[in-house]
Amino acid sequence: MPEENEVVQHLVDCIPMAAIAHDSRFKLLAVNSECRSRSNLSGTYAISRDARQFLHPSEHPAAEELSLRLLDEWTTSNKYPSPVSALRRLQQDNGPTISVWTHVGITVANGEPVFVVCLDLAAPLLAEISTLRERAERDDLTGLLRRIPAMEQVDQWLHEECPVSVVFADLDNFKDVNDTYGHAAGDFVLRKVAIRLGALAHENRIVCRYAGDELLVVERSVEQSRPFEWRFDSHRFVKSFVNESALAPIRWRGQELRISISVGHAQSRPGDTVDRLMERADAAMYEAKRSTVRISENN
């Protein structure tokens, strides 16, 4: 280990649980013996000097955001912020991915900020992780999938070269509901529409809250063995269902609120990425909103 990291190595060696240290660019500075011996990470430590490689790729954005937040708090207040605990999926050399509690703090060594990450490997949440992960992946207001896990699923389908259909829905004049009746009414309307759309979800179709009042229904196509004349037009059904989900009035404290939805549809193309597919669906939705046509195609 380089001489300038000896202080950091001594620091993590004094921690009585698995711990690593990295700088603001996630360059790995030190790993203690508890971490090496108990977490099956020796291969990662030997090969990579990027601390993010200890985590499942889906955890990287959250880990980066947390480090930036701690660094900003430290630089603006000139005080050490309290360590932050978070549930993270740990990438092991071999064996299943496990979820553990991580505790992240910031200190200074050799005049530079150093992030110290403690891993609670004594009690990996193998039994409870399914429930906890499900809660983390669901939007608090609507109960629908959050954007990140939904896009990860779409990305997986595209990599499997499955045809993917996206219906991008946006509530029309939603801001007027908030301005007229208050944000509680807006939340109520959004939740009601989400419940209706949530009925569409199954193993080959996901429903998510993309952003604000924007909702997505994404479906992968599967082979149908029935004769052509008996095939069910799933795409047409989904688009119609989404459009009609807003037609039934929503009662709010004795008032009848009426809304509509603008819908854009896009079909995946060979070699598509998630971003390109979503851009086309988003463009189709805005075209529908501009032209007052409730459903627009962009394939």
**Domains detected in the chain:** 3-119 (3.30.450.20), 138-297 (3.30.70.270)
Tokens matching residue 18? 């698995």
Compute φ and ψ for 113, nearest 5 degrees. Answer: -65, 140
CA–CA separation, 203 vs 238, rounded Å? 15
Average pLDDT over residues 60-67: 90
Q: How far apart are the first and last CA of the chain?
A: 55
Model confidence over 7-28: pLDDT tens digits?
Answer: 899 999 999 888 999 999 999 9
CA–CA separation, 19 vs 100, rounded Å? 12
Among 38-47, 103-112, 202-211, the minimum mean pLDDT is found in 38-47
pLDDT band at 77 (very low <50, low <70, confident <90, very high): confident
Per-residue model confidence (pLDDT) at position 48: 63
Cβ–Cβ under 8 Å, residues 285 and 232: no
At position 168, the amino acid (one-letter code) is: F
Q: pTM of the full predicted structure?
A: 0.54
Is the predicted pLDDT of residue 154 greater than 90, yes or no?
A: yes
CA–CA separation, 198 vs 202, rounded Å? 9
**Signed CA dihedral, 136, 262, 184, 212: sign only:** positive
Concatenating the DSSP letter of every residue in 37-63 gives: HHSS-HHHHHH--BGGGGB-GGGHHHH
Tokens matching residue 185? 């009414």
The CB density around residue 128, as the number of other CB atoms within 10 Å, is 12
